A and B are shown apart, each in its own frame.
Chain A
Amino acid sequence: MAGVSYVKASRVYPGNPPVRAVDQLDLEISDGEFLVLVGPSGSGKSTALRMLAGLEDVDEGAIHIGGTDVTHTPPKGRDIAMVFQSYALYPHMTVGENMGFALKLRRVPKETIKAKVAEAAKMLDLTPYLDRKPKALSGGQRQRVAMGRAIVREPAVFLMDEPLSNLDAKLRVETRANIAALQARLGTTTIYVTHDQVEAQTMGHRVAVLKDGLLQQCDTPRNLYEQPANAFVAGFIGSPAMNLKTVALTSEGAVLDGLTVPLPRSVVAGHDAKTITFGVRPESLRLAGGDEAGMKLTVDLVEELGADAYVYGSVDIGGTSERFIVRTDGRTPPSIGSTVTVTLRDDNEVHLFHPETGARLETTKAAPTA
C-alpha cells in the first residue's frame, strides 16, 4: 500500500497547437485514500489515470507511488492494478484464469494462485463461475471478475476507469456501494475515474474535479458541494445542477427579477464589475406564499420524485428568459403552466463567482456546518 502524488504532471499531445490533455496536475493522494477524478468528457481524467498506470507518457513533471518516482517505469514495475471500463477480460481464459493471470506471470506457485483466486471469488460471489468463460457471464458478473482480477494482485494502488458505466442503473447503484465497501475493507489506495458526479460524491473520500486538463478543485464531497471553488465546479457538482446566473449588481445586491439579494459588503466593495455570477442550489429556493416578494417563475415542467418535486421554469431577468430549478415539497407541486413566486430560503445560501474568471468570491458568512 502506498500514497500517490502527481507533481506538475502533464500529458501533451503533439499538434498545432499542442493539446495539453493533462496540464500541470498537482495532486497528493494519501495511503488508503479513495480519490475520485471527475469531469466532463475530454477533461483529461482518464488520461491522468492512464499516466499513473504507465499507459500514457508523462511529458512534464513526475508521478510518485509510495515515495518512488515511477514517471518512466513501465506498467509492470508500478505495482498497480487497473479495472477498465470495458473490463478487458481475456476472452479465451476462464474466470479463474483471468483472475490468476498476473500471478501466473510472476511465477507464483499454482496452489497459492488457486487459494488467492478462491478467496477473491468468495469475496465477490464469483465462486460458482470460476470455470466459466467471460462470454457466459452477465454484465454485472464480468464487472466483478474485473474487480477480482485487481484484488488478487494485492497491488499498492487500484486504478478504476469508469468501471460502472456499462451497467444498468440499478446495478450501478448496488455495485457503487459494494466497491466503496470493498475499498474500505481492503484499505488499498484507489483512484477512480468517472464522469458521473453522483458516483464521485457518493464514493470518494475526496473528489478532484478536472476540466480541460486543469484541476479545478480537490476536496471532500461536502466541501465541494458547499464551497465550490469556481462556477464550473458549482455547476458540475450537484443534481439537479445549481442555478447559475450572471446578473446585474447594484449597491443593494444582486438583482434578480423582483428580488434583490443583499450581498455581503466585502463582496460588493471588492468587486468593481457591474455584474456578478450568482449561484443558488435548487434546495435553497422555495415557493413564496401570499404577498412575499420574489421572482415570477413560469412552470415548464415538474419532476415528482415522491418526497420532493423539482420545478423547472423560466424567469424573465433583464429581458432574457432564464431557466431556474426549484426543489419543493412533493405533496403540493405547482401545476405546469402556472406562475409561482420563488424566493430564497436563506440569503446566506448563495454562491458568488466572478463573472469573467468564474472564481469564487468569498462571502463572510459562517463556516458551513460540516
Chain B
Amino acid sequence: MVATTTGPATEPHRPPPAGTRRRGRLRRFLDRYWYAYALVLPVVVVVGGLVVLPLAQGVFFTFTDINEGNIANPVLGREADYDVVGLANYLNVLSGDPAYGSFWAVLLRTLVWSGICVACHYGIGLGLALLLNRPLRFRTLYRILLILPWAVPAFVSAFAWRYLFNADYGLINWLLGSVGLPTPVWLGQSPVAMVAVIIVNVWLGVPFMMVALLGGLQSIPGDLYEAAEIDGATPWQRFTQITLPGLRPVSSTVILLGVIWTFNMFPVIYLITGQNPHTRILITYAFERFFSGATRDYAIASTYGVLILSVLLVFAGVYLRALRSREAD
C-alpha cells in the first residue's frame, strides 16, 4: 500500500547512476515519508470503505433499474438480474412526474424549508448571541440553558415535540385553547404540519448558531466599538458597521453549514410527521422510496441521492465563489 502511493518525488537531488535510479529514489522516499503514510493509512481505509465505496455504488445504481425484486438475494438463492438503463432514471425524475416523486415540487419545498429554517436560525441565534455577549447576571446559566436543545439527541426532542403538538392532549393546543386561540391539528395532512416541523427545527438549530456567533462576537476587538463610538456611530451603526462585518467570516461558514444540514434534515421531519406529503423534502422522499412502497425502488432512491448531492455541490460552489469575490473588493 505504501509503495503504491509513491508519487513523483520532487527532491532536488542529483540523479544516481541509471540502473539504480528508480529503486534508489523509491527507497529514499520511503525512508523519509513512510511514517507519514503509515499514519494516514487508517483514515484512508476508513473513509474509502465508508464514504467512497457506497457513494460509487450509489452512483452506479442510478444507471440501473435495481429494486427489491431484482437485487441478488442470498436468502432466496436468487442471482441479481437488474439491467443498466442509462439515463432513464434521471429523465423520469427530472420530468417531475408524480409517479417519480414530483421532483420539482419537492425541491421547491426543500428550498423553502431550508431558507426559512436557516433564516430563523441565524436571526434568532444572532439575537441571543448579542444578548448573551453583554454582561448580565446568570449569564453562564442562560448560556447552558440555551445550548441544551443541542445536547439532546434529535430523536428524543422529535418525540417530545410530537407530544407537545398532539392535537387533543398536547401542551401547545392546551395553551392556545386556554387563551381562546384556534387549536389546529398540527401534525395532520395539511400545510400546518410544515409549520410545526419548521418550529421544531428552528428550536433545534438555534443553539449551534448562537454558540458560533457568540464566539464570533467575542473575537471582535472592543476598541473598534470605542473608536466607532468616538467617530459618532449610533448603536445601530455600530451593529451594521462593526458587528456584522466582524462576524462575516463566521456567518458565511455557519450559513453554508446550516443550509447543508437543513437541506438534509431527515430525523426532524421523518420522526415528527412520518410520510406526510405536506412535509416531504428530497431526503425524506429518497428514504421513502428506498425503504417502503410496493417495490423498494433502490434505483430512483439513489437517483434522488445523487441529485441532492449535485444541488448542494452547486450551491456550495456558487456560495463560496460569491463570498470570495466579495472579499476581494
Contacts and interface: CB of A to CB of B under 8 A. Distances in A.
A76 B227 contact: no
Given A86-B221, A105-B237, A55 B232 contact: no
A92 interface: yes
B224 interface: yes
Contacts of B241: 90, 101
B49 interface: no
Nearest to B248: A92
A88 interface: yes
A183 B322 CA distance: 45
Interface string B57-69: 0000000000000
B229 interface: yes
8 contacts: A76-B229, A76-B231, A80-B230, A84-B226, A88-B227, A92-B246, A102-B232, A106-B232
A235 to B, nearest CB: 32
A152 to B, nearest CB: 10
A90 B242 contact: yes
B117 to A, nearest CB: 28
Interface string B223-257: 11011111111000100011001101000000000
Contacts of B245: 90-92
A86 B223 contact: yes
Interface in B182-238: 221, 223-224, 226-233, 237
A82 B229 CA distance: 10
A84 B232 contact: no
Contact of B229 (A55, A90, A92): A55
A248 to B, nearest CB: 51
A75 interface: yes
A74 B229 CA distance: 9
Interface of B: 221, 223-224, 226-233, 237, 241-242, 245-246, 248
The CB with the most chain A CB atoms within 10 A, among B221, B223, B230, is that of: B230
A86 B222 CA distance: 11
A76 B230 contact: yes
B192 to A, nearest CB: 43
Given A101-B231, A106-B232, A55 B248 contact: no
Contacts of B246: 91-92
Interface string A75-99: 1100011101010101110000000
B229 A88 contact: no
Interface of A: 53-55, 74-76, 80-82, 84, 86, 88, 90-92, 101-102, 105-106, 149, 153
Contacts of A88: 221, 223-224, 226-227
B329 to A, nearest CB: 10
A80 B231 CA distance: 9
Contact of B231 (A55, A92, A102): A102
A106 B237 CA distance: 12
Contacts of B231: 76, 101-102, 105, 149, 153
A177 B245 CA distance: 35
Contacts of A54: 229-230
Given A105-B233, A105-B237, A84 B242 contact: no
A82 B227 contact: yes
Given A88-B221, A88-B224, A90-B242, A82 B233 contact: no
Nearest to A94: B329
Contacts of A105: 231-233, 237
B30 to A, nearest CB: 42
A189 to B, nearest CB: 16
Question: Which 8 pairs, one residue from A and one from B, show the smallest C-beta to C-beta distance?
Answer: A102-B231, A88-B227, A76-B232, A92-B245, A88-B223, A75-B230, A105-B232, A75-B229
A106 B229 CA distance: 13
Contacts of B230: 53-55, 75-76, 80-82, 102
A91 B224 CA distance: 9
Contacts of B224: 88, 90
B56 to A, nearest CB: 43
The CB with the most chain A CB atoms within 10 A, among B228, B231, B245, is that of: B231
Contacts of A82: 226-227, 230
Given A76-B232, A105-B233, A84 B248 contact: no
A76 B235 CA distance: 11
Contact of A55 (B221, B226, B242): B226
A263 to B, nearest CB: 50
Nearest to A106: B232
A325 to B, nearest CB: 38
A92 B226 CA distance: 16
B323 to A, nearest CB: 13
Contacts of A86: 221, 223
A84 B229 contact: no
